[in-house]
Amino acid sequence: MCQPIDNQKEIFHSCCSVGSDCKSACKVMNTLKSILIDLGIPQESLDESTLLYKDLQLDSVETVEIALRLKRQLGVNLKLETRRDRTLAQVCNTVKAAIAASTK
């Protein structure tokens, strides 16, 4: 589980792939969780294995809102299509990849 960004201790978890910057991964995961909490999802329901559609019952409007907020807050274009359910960790990895691609 991601720890607060301010925590200087390195924490490795499933949304950190080998060789990635864990602090960056935690920032992405914390941003994603913050967005979901703002949409009314209880914090207790959110962990890296939580599925967006099956577990959180998000609709297409909420999915678009998540994508828009990720774009505003992290500067990434992300399409969260409803045909493919993703865990929070998978969304985190997709966002990290988009950030990496945009900085090349």
Check: pTM over 0.85? Answer yes or no: no
Q: Angle at CA 30, nearest 5°, toward 83 and 2?
A: 105
pLDDT tens column, 39-96: 999 999 999 999 999 999 999 899 999 999 999 999 999 888 768 899 999 999 999 9
- Most confident of the ranges 6-10, 18-22, 95-99: 95-99
Q: What is the pLDDT of residue 5?
A: 36
Dihedral (C-alpha) 101, 18, 63, 35: value to the nearest 10 degrees? -100
- In three-state secondary structure terms, 75 is coil
Q: What is the pLDDT of residue 21?
A: 60
Q: What is the pLDDT of residue 8?
A: 31
> Does the structure show a pLDDT above 80 at 36?
yes
> Does the structure show a pLDDT above 60 at 16?
no
Q: Angle at CA 37, nearest 5°, toward 32 and 40?
A: 135
Q: What is the pLDDT of residue 89?
A: 94
Contact 47, 53 (CB under 8 A): no
Closest CA to 71 of 102, 44, 25: 102
Q: What is the pLDDT of residue 3?
A: 44
